[in-house]
Amino acid sequence: MESAKEKQDNAMERIPLMNPYKMGKFQLSHRVVLAPLGRLRSYDYLPQPHAILYYSQRTTDGGFLISEATAISETSLRYPRTPGIWTKEQVEAWKPIVKAVHEKGGIFFCQLWHVGRVSSNGIHYYFLLSTHGNGKGGLSAKWTSSNKGVRAGNARAESGDCMPPRRLSVDEIPQVINDYRLAARNAIEAGFDGVEIHGAHGYLIDQFMKDQVNDRTDEYGGSIEKRCRFALEVVEAVVKEIGADRVGMRLSPFADYMDSADSNPNSLGLYIAESLNKHEVAYLHVVEPRMITIEDNSKTPYSLLPMRQAFKRSFTVAGAYNRDEGNKAIDENRTDLVAFGRLFLANPETV
């Protein structure tokens, strides 16, 4: 007759998502990750007390959570009511939220975010008059002269026009990198266990990496190596500030979200995965190729397997996964962890 422990062990073997996993120095009790999900409920760019309930409801002992996208500076904004991490007041507002997650045994990373050229028309104009923006629109890897700015492909949630962006000058790039560094420091001060650098979905870092957007002719444009330089300089700065074991990165090399695509996404994904090995970051979080935009779940010839094989540390996938697909991905060793979004929105007790 099976003991209770044997029954539990056998059940875990049948449900790969429920197997424990060690992500660097963090011991996880299962493979299910709370994906970063924008909430638009942070007034004056301050996370609100109701976020304590939202995150704590989705926390399990030994579970891994990634925060909603969090702005690194006053020039990095797009949406109204998104949280930031660049001021002391924001750091203090995050502290009780992080504490609530830790009290339930969760591991919590803050996603660091700069929107680049897709800053919304009008919403943050007064912010864009400051240090980097100079009232000329969002910062970008390129200059786009269209009066309509940049749209987000098929995504209804992004249907508003963006301000016409301006090219980020080489002289300004170190300041933006420093904004990431300071935001990472602030996240640790707020109590987060680490940070995830948002390099996906057509925002600033993705804009530099994708050749549909990046038409620069300087040291940050042209070859894959040059287009990825900005991303890797951000990673290097953040790693130096808080340690590689506290840093992850999210990528979507196959996506065309925010009109940000690449002519050779396989090569781009493989190059950045191999390059991140040199920085020894804790994990790589990649959006499935089938998610061309946030509304798509398309058939595609592309696969994340080359990136999975190239990256030597913890690998996380996301993109319209259900329980069965997640279990299969773990069982076939195509990933270590699976991030879920909609399931957690529908049911905080998904795990």
Among residues 168, 170, 253, which one has the least CA distance to residue 206? Answer: 253
Q: Is the pLDDT of residue 151 over 50?
A: no
Q: Is the pLDDT of residue 38 over 90?
A: no
Report yes or no on whether pTM surpasses 0.85: yes
**Token output for 314:** 């913890």
Q: Is the pLDDT of residue 132 over 80?
A: no
The pLDDT value recorded for residue 39 is 83
State pLDDT tens for residues 296-348. Answer: 556 776 799 999 999 999 999 999 899 999 999 999 999 999 999 999 988 99
Q: Is the pLDDT of residue 8 over 60?
A: no
CA distance linking residue 331 with residue 280, whole number of Å: 25
H or E element in which residue 110 lies: strand 107-113
Pick left, alpha or beta for residue 225 (phi over 0 → left; psi -120 to 50 → alpha; otherwise beta): alpha
Q: What is the mean pLDDT of residues 192-212?
A: 97
CA distance linking residue 202 with residue 252, whole number of Å: 9
* Proportion of the chain above pLDDT 90, given as a percent: 69
Q: CA–CA distance from 19 to each of 30, 152, 319 (Å)?
A: 5, 37, 21
CA distance linking residue 30 with residue 28, whole number of Å: 6
* Position with higher pLDDT, 259 vs 339: 339
176-196 exposure pattern, b = at least 16 Cβ within 10 A, e = fewer? bbebbbbbbbbbbebbbbbbb
**Token output for 312:** 């030597």
Contact 350, 58 (CB under 8 A): yes
Mean pLDDT of the chain: 86
Q: Is the pLDDT of residue 104 over 50?
A: yes
* Position with higher pLDDT, 7 vs 74: 74
Q: Is the pLDDT of residue 255 over 60?
A: yes
**Token output for 301:** 């010839």
Degrees to nearest 5, angle at CA 104 with 101 and 109: 30
The pLDDT value recorded for residue 131 is 32
The pLDDT value recorded for residue 117 is 86
The pLDDT value recorded for residue 41 is 80
The pLDDT value recorded for residue 53 is 97
Sole residue written with tokens 């492909």: 153
- Helix, strand, coil in percent for the chain, rounding step 5: 40, 15, 45
SS3 105: coil
Q: What is the mean pLDDT of residues 80-97?
A: 95
Contact 316, 33 (CB under 8 A): yes
The pLDDT value recorded for residue 30 is 98
The pLDDT value recorded for residue 113 is 95
Among residues 102, 9, 111, 11, which one has the least CA distance to residue 60? Answer: 102
CA distance linking residue 307 with residue 228, whole number of Å: 15
Q: CA–CA distance from 128 to each of 11, 84, 160 (Å)?
A: 54, 15, 18
**Token output for 303:** 């696969």
Determine the residue type at 78. R
Q: Is the pLDDT of residue 264 over 80?
A: yes
Q: Is the pLDDT of residue 123 over 50?
A: no
Q: Is the pLDDT of residue 6 over 60?
A: no
Residue ranges of domains in the chain, CATH in brackets = 15-346 (3.20.20.70)
Determine the residue type at 142. K
The pLDDT value recorded for residue 241 is 99
CA end-to-end distance (rounded Å), the chain: 28
* Proportion of the chain above pLDDT 70, given as a percent: 81
Q: What is the mean pLDDT of residues 154-173?
A: 65
Catalytic residues, by residue number, are: 203
Q: What is the mean pLDDT of residues 82-87?
A: 95
State pLDDT tens for residues 44-63. Answer: 889 999 999 999 999 999 99
Contact 117, 139 (CB under 8 A): yes
The pLDDT value recorded for residue 300 is 72
State pLDDT tens for residues 292-309. Answer: 655 555 677 679 999 999
SS3 125: coil
Q: Is the pLDDT of residue 209 over 50?
A: yes
